[in-house]
Structure 1
């Protein structure tokens, strides 16, 4: 009496471990090659302009905790801000001027909003940054 069953071959499996290793190496190879490939294969000579282009005009306004205002490097009185900004902003250009406001964190928000409203009245865009000093 035989207690063991005979092997009929129905449960045959193929080991896919080496196939996974090869696919991983190929994927890694193509990943590295795609990052090294230069997308600018066609070299073109673009025209260069000397003085026709205009840089975006920006005026930097700084205000500290004592309400001391600087337009660029020039120290001014807060009440004369509009007249000083008129000197620095040229509205007739095709590029809209920008006023960048650097403020101390202890400056009242109403002062920052006042600077923004003066800049808007003069036709400039504004952006503000507040820093701890």
Structure 2
């Protein structure tokens, strides 16, 4: 009498490597999301051959095509720009102020903003896109 053993094929899915991949993807997206700067208004900046990156904390002044002014995404009238900027800077005169202005605005608009920094001895930097 021949006794047959149950030798059926059982399909198995090994999920241990899948959990490793998911862990690495989670880490990747967490690191990338912390590098994104949420205080930026989208605009086309002037082009530059050299580009220096700032790693410090900075204050952002943005001007859009309609000549609306923003300090760290908060809308500000031009008449109140100097007062609001000085309130934001406080006593830390070494803090960098990044000016983001579209390439198609007049130079005088940029000079008007930069004169506030010269008048108050602040460090201003103009944001550009790499060429």
TM-score (norm 1): 0.50
Aligned-residue Cα RMSD (Å) equals 2.1
Paired residue for 1:115?
A: 113
Paired residue for 2:82?
A: 82
Paired residue for 2:122?
A: 124
CA separation in 1, counterparts of 2:73 and 2:56? 19
Per the TM alignment, residue 122 of structure 1 is displaced from its structure 2 partner at its CA by 2.0
Q: Count how many residue pairs are aligned between Structure 1 and Structure 2.
A: 75
TM-superposition CA deviations, 1:34-90 (whole Å, max 9, x none):
xxxxxxxxxxxxxxxxxxxxx955210000111011000210112211111111112
CA separation in 2, counterparts of 1:72 and 1:129? 14
Mapping of residues 64-83 of structure 1, within 5 Å: 64-83=64-83
CA separation in 2, counterparts of 1:122 and 1:112? 16
CA separation in 1, counterparts of 2:128 and 2:69? 14
Query: Does the aligned pair in 2 maintain the 1:104–1:130 contact within 8 Å?
Result: no
Matched, 1:103 2:101: yes
CA separation in 2, counterparts of 1:57 and 1:83? 20
CA separation in 2, counterparts of 1:75 and 1:126? 19
CA separation in 2, counterparts of 1:116 and 1:56? 20
TM-score (norm 2): 0.50
Q: Larger Cα Rg: Structure 1 or Structure 2?
A: 1
CA separation in 2, counterparts of 1:122 and 1:56? 20
Larger relative contact order (Cα-Cα within 8 Å, sequence gap ≥ 6):
2
CA separation in 2, counterparts of 1:116 and 1:57? 19
CA separation in 2, counterparts of 1:76 and 1:87? 13
Consecutive unaligned residues of structure 2, counting only runs of 5 or more, are 1-54
Query: Does the aligned pair in 2 maintain the 1:63–1:107 contact within 8 Å?
Result: no
Consecutive unaligned residues of structure 1, counting only runs of 5 or more, are 1-54
